Amino acid sequence: MKVLVINGSPRADQCTATALEEMMKTLQAEGVETELVHVGKTNIRGCISCNYCRKHGRCMFKDIVNETAQKFEEADGIIVGSPVYFSSPNGTLLSFLDRLFYSTSFSKHMKVGAAVVSCRRGGATASFDVLNKYFTISGMTVAGSTYWNQVHGFTAEDVKKDLEGLQTMRNLARNMAFLMKAIADAKEKYGLPKQELEAFTSFPDGK
């Protein structure tokens, strides 16, 4: 079992990192391997809708998105962590996720996703909702916890004092490990559920 961990914050060792670290420790204790990719300080441009990826199976911009794609394909689950910027995930992370999810054609069906957000005071659930949508449109399963997956603070020290936030991260990691193991077993027993992909309707008349 392997989980890819994305830190969208430009601050590699502060609040989001503290929450992710708590999850990684717990996952490792559950026998799950983790790999951390820090994207927040990288120069990542947004998707330009050129559809190069439709032909080539990768984004035309040769950067961390394509480098991460293979790691995502091999992973059983993904954790995406973000600081809250004006009640949304931070912009660099959104550019990264738009291009990662749009440019990759490998199946994400029944991979397990978990979104984690860090804010000083507000905007956590709005940001959490945005991140979960990358998972649910991709046929993934979303792991839950004992509260919404958020921590609070302006520094790593603040987050270390957010005991409920860290508890939420540990419970989330355990639920994620359980789901990945259960899905692997169920895949062997039943196979993956059928997915119909033929219809692609953009207009009410179906054309």
Total residues at the site for ligand FMN (CB under 6 A)? 19
Stretch of 7-15, 71-79, 171-179, 197-205 lying at the interface with ligand FMN (CB under 6 A): 7-15
**Residue whose C-beta lies closest to ligand FMN:** 14
Structural tokens at position 8? 């969208």
User: What character string, x for contact with ligand FMN (CB under 6 A) and - otherwise, covers 27-66?
Assistant: ----------------------------------------
User: Which of 3, 15, 140, 180 touches ligand FMN (CB under 6 A)?
Assistant: 15
CA 24 to chain centroid, in Å, comes to 14
Taking CA atoms, 16 is separated from 59, 117, 122, 151, 183, in Å, by 27, 7, 15, 8, 27
Taking CA atoms, 87 is separated from 118, 119, 156, 166, in Å, by 11, 9, 20, 21
Amino acid at 158: D
Stretch of 28-36, 79-87, 161-169, 190-198 lying at the interface with ligand FMN (CB under 6 A): 79-87
User: What character string, x for contact with ligand FMN (CB under 6 A) and - otherwise, covers 116-145?
Assistant: --xxxxxx----------------------
Helix (H, G, I), strand (E, B) or coil at 52: helix
Amino acid at 146: T
In whole angstroms, give the CA distance from residue 20 to residue 132: 16
Longest Cα separation, the chain: 56
User: Which of 85, 102, 129, 144 touches ligand FMN (CB under 6 A)?
Assistant: 85
Stretch of 21-29, 45-53, 81-89, 171-179 lying at the interface with ligand FMN (CB under 6 A): 81-89
Using the rule CB under 6 A, is 153 a contact of ligand FMN? yes
Helix (H, G, I), strand (E, B) or coil at 79: strand
Stretch of 58-66, 83-91, 103-111, 184-192 lying at the interface with ligand FMN (CB under 6 A): 83-91
Of the candidates 181, 171, 112, 116, the residue with the CA atom closest to the CA atom of residue 142: 112
Chain contacts with ligand FMN (rule: CB under 6 A): 9, 11, 14-17, 83-87, 118-123, 153-154
